[in-house]
Amino acid sequence: MRITECEFVRLNIPFRVAFQHAAASRSHSDAIIIRVMTDDGVEGFGEIQARPYVTGEDNDTIWDKLVPLAGQIIGQSLTTPAAVYQCLDSLVGYTKAPALAGGFDIALLDALDVEGRIDCQEIFGPRRASEHMKCLTIGENYAGERLKKQAHLARVGGYAVVKLKVAGSEDSARVRDLRDWVGSGIAIRLDVNGAMNFSAASALLETCKDCKIESIEEPLDRASPQLAAELLQLHEISGVPLVADESVCTLADLESWARSGGYQAINVRIGKCGGISGAAAMLKAAKAAGFDVVAGTMVGETSVLLKASQKMLEYWNDLDYVEGIDQSRQLLIAEPVVATKGQNDKHFEWIAKYVNEFCISRQIAN
């Protein structure tokens, strides 16, 4: 396929309810949708959800780079996933700008998929043989009766795992309440988003040692000069596996932590790891390095990123779930771009009413 046009639509989509964790509070989705067009009239859709505290990128800066980058992609003939990877790695660099590269990666692979040129087994491996589970993510702003309602949702909704956002040792009461309300049959993961120091994190885990905590994600501030040593000590005294999320967005990050041994698991998100190609490479490298793997979504994803995560879940048998994949569909007040059903000529389509309502800027390169 030869790329003839790239369209970029930046959307501000309100949430039904605000979502909060230690690193950010969100009431809307700031999404950049990429649509590529080929010389055969095929459309491919991608999505960027940049987070400065994750990959160091932000959507304002990315927005200014899109048309110049598209100018280098337009006219190129890309016929395989490997060709897409090579092109984007040379122009952008999956390690240097994983969110930016990932948005184009998803769009170009989507176009190839529409053309029938992709075998997902070549990217992720054989289709999963086991049934996947569901994980419910609960924000830091949920406590008391609001938290109790989320626990009820987890029980009646068939969720196997609950991930609770926490910010300090004082959250131990929320953790104990959640365990009481979900019962013993649902696993609990904690996510700190790097908001604690060693003392607070160790106090939280000590206070909650009877709550059967499955893992704790990004427990310590990444700026700590003794981060690796503190992570090793925290795992040693608590016995709770530590999960890297913001700390691992690229293969170079993963290799660094494989050497230091600070984390036992990696959270792979297509939106932070370089799209489908980057996430697939991360999954394979994590497995080879001996890490356990979980997967997640970025809060506020539209159907474009969510469908990519769903595809990853369908094919990577070592993933039990992708956290938040069901919630994101319910979080947005409306969907400006949706997955089509039963159509072979494209996988997504615009909903004009909501595009007009939520669009804050639009660019076209051809």
Q: Are residues 48 and 177 in the same domain?
A: no
Q: How many domains does the chain have?
A: 2
pTM, rounded to two decimals: 0.94
CATH number at residue 352: 3.30.390.10
> According to the model, what pLDDT value does residue 6 have?
98
Number of other CB atoms surrounding residue 340 within 10 Å: 12
Q: Are residues 141 and 49 in the same domain?
A: no
List C-alpha distances in Å: 267 to 123, 244, 283. 18, 6, 9
Q: Are residues 263 and 339 in the same domain?
A: no
> According to the model, what pLDDT value does residue 16 have?
84
If you ran DSSP here, which 8-state letter would residue 170 be given? Answer: G
Q: Are residues 220 and 319 in the same domain?
A: yes
Q: Are residues 213 and 305 in the same domain?
A: yes
Q: Are residues 196 and 221 in the same domain?
A: yes
Q: Are residues 324 and 340 in the same domain?
A: no
Q: Are residues 214 and 361 in the same domain?
A: no
Q: Are residues 146 and 61 in the same domain?
A: no
pLDDT in tens, the chain (366 residues): 999 999 999 999 999 887 766 556 778 899 999 999 999 999 999 999 999 999 999 999 999 999 999 999 999 999 999 999 999 999 999 999 999 999 999 999 999 999 988 988 889 988 888 889 999 999 988 999 999 999 999 999 999 999 999 998 889 999 999 999 999 999 999 999 999 999 999 999 999 999 999 999 999 999 889 999 999 999 999 999 999 999 999 999 999 999 999 999 999 999 999 999 999 999 999 999 999 999 999 989 999 999 999 999 999 988 999 998 877 778 899 999 999 876 667 899 999 999 999 999 999 999
> According to the model, what pLDDT value does residue 344 have?
64
> According to the model, what pLDDT value does residue 23 have?
58
Distance, CA of 252 to CA of 188 (rounded, Å): 29
Q: Are residues 112 and 214 in the same domain?
A: no
Distance, CA of 311 to CA of 277 (rounded, Å): 12
Structural domain including 195 reads 122-331
Number of other CB atoms surrounding residue 349 within 10 Å: 14
Distance, CA of 133 to CA of 158 (rounded, Å): 8
Q: Are residues 208 and 249 in the same domain?
A: yes
The H or E element that residue 295 is part of is strand 292-296
CATH number at residue 232: 3.20.20.120
Query: What Rg value do the Cα atoms of the chain yield, rounded?
Result: 20
Number of other CB atoms surrounding residue 155 within 10 Å: 16
> According to the model, what pLDDT value does residue 20 have?
65
Tokens at residue 324, please?
């938040």
Tokens at residue 322, please?
């992708």
Q: Are residues 127 and 39 in the same domain?
A: no
Distance, CA of 9 to CA of 357 (rounded, Å): 12
Cβ pair 330, 317 in contact under 8 A: no
Number of other CB atoms surrounding residue 162 within 10 Å: 26
**Helix, strand, coil percentages in the chain from 3-state DSSP, rounded to 5:** 40, 25, 35
The H or E element that residue 121 is part of is helix 120-124
